[in-house]
């Protein structure tokens, strides 16, 4: 039995009841749980509880959570910078943007971040999460970067640096 407070269990039971029997029940449920978390992620004990309560095998829940890019299994930073690794963006320099930002934010290449194609790393201070996506589908705007859910096109290093500096100061883009 997962180690959750009574309030957490009650909250999750309510969500399960709300989504039960709906098409895409698991997706809707996970999305709502992630949104409710202050650090916008799916804690393992919560996934275990969902499995325990719904009878959906844990492995199935985990594979759904890892398959969809919108789900996070680790706590996310206050700001998310997402860099596109699609072919169009790659040929227009997205890898340089990624490397520059890793350097700027002090994120080492190897920090359990996966390969360059599927990276997700959060700064020690919890301010920034740097992620990559396979493709945003905005190839005409390459290279594309998404900052806190705003898509920016034709991004260069200077522009990206300005955005990040502004967020560091606590301003919004």
Q: What is the pLDDT of residues 136-166, one digit of tens each?
A: 899 999 999 999 989 999 999 999 999 999 9
Q: In what order do the strands lie in the sheet with 120-122?
A: 120-122, 128-133, 79-84, 145-147, 150-152
- Give the three-state DSSP class for 122: strand
pTM over 0.85: no
Given a contact cutoff of 8 angstroms between Cβ atoms, the answer to whether 144 and 153 are in contact is yes
Q: What is the pLDDT of residues 19-35, one digit of tens each?
A: 999 989 999 999 999 99
Q: Strand runs (DSSP E) across the chain, as ranges? A: 79-84, 120-122, 128-133, 145-147, 150-152
The Cβ of residue 10 has, within 10 Å, a number of other Cβ atoms equal to 10
Indicate the burial class of 171 (C-beta count within 10 angstroms; 0-12, 13-18, 19 or more): exposed
Residues of the chain scoring pLDDT < 50: 111, 113-114, 173
């Amino acid at each position: 039995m997962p180690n959750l407070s009574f309030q957490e269990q009650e909250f999750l039971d309510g969500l399960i009841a709300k989504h039960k029997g709906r098409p895409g029940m698991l997706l809707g449920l996970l999305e709502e749980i992630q949104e409710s978390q202050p650090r916008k992620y799916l804690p393992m004990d919560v996934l275990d509880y969902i499995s325990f309560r719904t009878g959906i095998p844990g492995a199935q829940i985990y594979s759904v959570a890892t398959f969809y890019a919108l789900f996070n299994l680790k706590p996310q930073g206050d700001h998310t910078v997402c860099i596109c690794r699609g072919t169009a963006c790659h040929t227009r320099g997205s890898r340089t943007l990624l490397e520059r930002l890793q350097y700027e934010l002090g994120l080492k290449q190897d920090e359990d971040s996966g390969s360059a194609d599927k990276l997700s790393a959060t700064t020690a201070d919890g301010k920034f999460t740097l992620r990559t996506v396979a493709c945003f589908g905005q190839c005409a705007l390459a290279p594309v970067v998404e900052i806190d859910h705003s898509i920016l096109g034709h991004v260069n290093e200077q522009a990206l640096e300005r955005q990040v500096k502004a967020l560091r100061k606590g301003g919004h883009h």
